[in-house]
Amino acid sequence: MKIAVLITTFSFFFQALNHVFIGFYQVKLKMHIQVFRRSDEPGRFGAWHCLVALKGAGFLPMMWIVTLASAVYTFVLWIKSDGVQFEIDREITLAIYKKMWPMALGGHF
């Protein structure tokens, strides 16, 4: 079960990035890219889910497919974004870490 949580953590990370890209496309008035890609994703990966279910592969392969779907969709949005680059702002990152370190140390693993 812990492995499934780890796998889906990546899926949620990709979904969060997808929301950033959707905001980017809204500002650029290019929502047609996001809408078209989002409409054909469930069909493609739904077929993979059925295949894995019919083979009786189990729960973890299903989680990998969900994560792969999110990763592929994020990659497609990134490719279509015309030069978006990921950067880490040192000031903002340090401010976030200063606020969250007590919760991170006090959390249960």
Give the tens place of pLDDT for each residue, 54-101.
677 777 777 787 788 788 878 877 877 777 777 888 999 899 888 887
Helices (H), the chain: 2-27, 31-55, 59-79, 90-106
Domain containing residue 16: 2-106
Q: What's the number of domains the chain is made of?
A: 1
pLDDT in tens, 1-19: 788 888 888 888 888 888 8
Q: Of 77, 2, 97, give the one whose Cα is nearest residue 36.
A: 77
**Residue 107: which region, alpha, beta or left (left: phi > 0; alpha: psi -120 to 50)?**
beta
What average pLDDT does range 23-50 have in this prediction? 65
Measure Cα distances from 41 to 74, 99, 105 in Å. 11, 37, 38
pTM > 0.85: yes or no: no
When comparing pLDDT for 12 and 49, which is higher? 12
pLDDT band for 40, please (50, 70, 90 cuts).
low
DSSP state for residue 80 in the 8-state scheme: T
